[in-house]
Structure 1
Amino acid sequence: MKYINAAEVLPNHLLIEIQKHISGEILYIPSGDKNIGWGEKNGSKKYYANRNKEIKLKYQEGHSIQEISQEYGLAYETVRKITYKK
């Protein structure tokens, strides 16, 4: 995300209207595209879903939470939450 000076891209009447509400501050204007959920654009959501499925499967196969936490580099409590979550 790059910084753009509003005075360079907005019509003067719109700039004056925006300045009535916020002046001298940084304003984020989201794109008009459909809202994309967390991790959907870069694949993080899918990655963690697959990882969690693997963790649940390993637990069901008899691996201990301690073994799984060491293998994945996760805290014991994190693995425990993943394995007990429906």
Structure 2
Amino acid sequence: MTYVKATSVLPEELVREIQKYIQGETIYIPKPDKSYKKWGTLSGERQRIDDRNYSIKQAYKSGTAMAQLAEEFFLSIETIKKIIYTK
């Protein structure tokens, strides 16, 4: 997070309005909800995990044992169960 001086980016009248509520303090202005991205979408990690989980579910449906899946994907059996039984 970077800090920006309000007077360098906001109109003077808006700065005066904000000063009615707060002066000389740091204030955080969040992004609009629609501009937030889910975890991992920019890096592609979310898609990788979704693909891995799909592979685990398909392998289980094909008869691969949970213990074998846990070993193959380096996950605990409990994690494999969560992946398999989650819609």
Question: Above 0.5 in TM-score?
Answer: yes
Gap change, CA 1:76 and 1:3, over 3 Å in 2:
farther
Residues in 2 aligned to 1:76 and 1:20: alpha-carbon distance in whole angstroms: 57
How far the C-alpha of 1:71 sits from its partner, in A, is: 2.2
Q: Deviations over 1:34-53 (max 9, x none)?
A: 53541333323321211111
Residues in 2 aligned to 1:67 and 1:28: alpha-carbon distance in whole angstroms: 48
Q: What is the root-mean-square deviation in Å for CA atoms of aligned residues?
A: 2.5
Residues in 1 aligned to 2:12 and 2:36: alpha-carbon distance in whole angstroms: 32
AA matched with 2:59: K
Spell out the pairing of 1:70-81 with structure 2 (5 A cutoff): 70-81=71-82
2:81 is the counterpart of 1:83 = no
Compute the TM-score of the two structures, normalised by the length of structure 1: 0.71
Residues in 2 aligned to 1:11 and 1:47: alpha-carbon distance in whole angstroms: 44
More deviation in 58-67 or 21-30?
21-30
Q: Count matched residues.
A: 85
Identity over aligned pairs, percent: 35
Q: Deviations over 1:22-45 (max 9, x none)?
A: 55133134269x535413333233
Spell out the pairing of 1:32-71 with structure 2 (5 A cutoff): 34-38=34-38, 39-71=40-72
AA matched with 1:13: E
Large movers: runs of 4+ above 3 Å: 19-23, 34-37
AA matched with 1:10: L
